[in-house]
Chains A and B, each alone.
Chain A
Amino acid sequence: MTTDTAPKPSFWNRLAHPGQFVALTRPLLWPLTIITAALFIAGLWFAFFNSPEDYQMGDTVRIMYIHVPTAWLSQFVYGIMAVSAIGSLVWRHPMADVSMKAAAPLGATFTALALFTGSLWGRPTWGTFWEWDGRMTSTLVLLLIYLGIVALWRAFDDQLRAARVIAVFTLVGAINIPIIKFSVDWWSTLHQPSSVFTMSGPHMPPSILTPLLVMAIAFTMLFLTLHLKAMHTEVARRRLMALQRQAAQTGKTA
C-alpha cells in the first residue's frame, strides 16, 4: 500500500505537463490553419470545376465529397477519443483527458453532418430522406453515443475526476460500436431483404477519387486544427477553474 507519484517516461513527461504541451504545440496552429485552408480550396475546386458527373449518380456525386469525409471523421474521432481514454486510464496522462474532452463535441458535429449530408443524398438517389438502413442507423446510434458523452462531461463538476470515469465509458462504447454496427446490419437485412442501393466500394474513377481524397484530408486537417485549439482552451479553462476555486477558498481578492 504505497502511493508514490509514479515517475513517467521522459518523452511523456514533457508532453504531460499541460503548460509545456501548449507551449510546444502553439506554433503548429497557424501552419495547420493554412494547410487546411489550402486543401479546402483545392478540394472545392476539384469538386465543382474539375470532376465529371458520375454516370450513375449524376451531379449528386458532389455530395459525396463532403459526405464521405464527415462520415469518415465520425469514426476517426471516436478512435481518437478511445486512444485518449486508454492514455488517461493507463498512463494517467493529463493531456489525454483534455484531448478526450475536446474531441467529443467535434465528433458529434461531424457525425451529425454525415447524417445530414447522407440524408440529403438519399433523397434524390433513393427517394427518401431516411431509410432504416444499416449504415445510416448505426451512424445515428453513434451520434447518440457522442451526445451522451457530451452530456456526461457537462454533468460532472469536477473535470479532473470526470476524465477517468468518462474514459471508462468511452472504452466500453468503443468495444460496443462494432457490435452495434454488426447487429444493425443483421437487423436491416432481416427486415429489408431488398436494398435499393448498395454503397459502391472504392472502384471509382480517379477523377472522382482525387477530389474525394483531397476533401477527406482537408476535413481531417480541419479536425486536427480545431482539436488542438480546443485542447489549448481546455487547458486554460482548467487552470482558470483551479484559480477560481483557490481564490474562493482563500478569500484572496488582491
Chain B
Amino acid sequence: MSAAYTTDEMMTVAAARMLRNGAVCFVGIGLPSTAANLARLTHAPDAVLVYESGAIGAKPGVLPLSIGDGQLAETADTVVSTPEIFRYWLQGGRIDVGFLGAAQLDRFANLNTTVIGPYGKPKVRLPGAGGAPEISSSAKEVLIVVKQSKRTFVERLDFVTSAGFLTGGDARERARLPGKGPVAVITDLCILRPHVTTRELEVTSIHPGVDRGTIAGHTAWEVRFAESCDATAPPSAQELQVLRDLQARTAAAHGATDGAAAESA
C-alpha cells in the first residue's frame, strides 16, 4: 500500500532502487543526489557517496544545495582535492556508478549539457560539461535521471557533451571507453535500458498510471518498448516517507524549495 505520490517522487524512488548496497557512487547535485541519499537511507546503507567536490563517503543528513556544501565535508570519511577526485578516484576506475542528468539525450543515451542551437551562436547556453564527459567514460556504470519530454528526448543532439553508446552497436567499445556506459535512464514516466546489441534505449518498465502513448508522446524519436516490459512498482510507504522526511529536513535547513535542481554533473 502506498500513499498518493508525484511523478517526481516516482522517478526519484525508481532511481534510488537502481543503486545496490555497497556501490561506490559518483553523485551530482539535484535528482542524482536525492536518489543516492534515498538509497542510502533505505536499502543501501553501505552505498559510498562520492561528490566531485572531493567528499568521499559523505553521509549528509539533509540534501546539499551545492556540490560542495559543508555538511558533505563534515560527514565524509575524507575530503580530497578536486584534482585528486578526478585523477585517482574517477579516472582511477574506483567508481562503480555515476549518476548523470542532461538537458538533451538521444536514443543511444548520448548527453548534451552544453548548448541548444549552434555552439558558436547558441539559442540557450547551458552550464557545460562539468564532470560529465569523464563520469560517462570512466564510471563502471552510468545511471541517467531526467524528466521525459520531446525537448529533452531528441532525435539529434545539438551537441554531444558526454558519450553514451555513440552511434550504437559496439561503437562505444570501439572507442575504447573504460566503463560500460549507461545501464538505465530513469524518467518520470518509465525506465529505459539499452538494447543488448543495438544499444538503442528501449522502455523496460512503465511507471503506474502511465501508458505507452504518453511515453511515445514525450519522446522525439520513435521509442521502442522491450518485449518483456514491466510495470514499475509504485513507491512503497516507507520509500515515500523517507524521501519526504529527507526533503522536509532539507527545506528546514536550507529554506530550499525541494525541486531546486541544477544540471550540475
**Chains A and B come from one and the same complex:** no
User: Which residues on B are within 8 Å of A, measured CB to CB?
Assistant: none
User: Which residues on A are within 8 Å of B, measured CB to CB?
Assistant: none
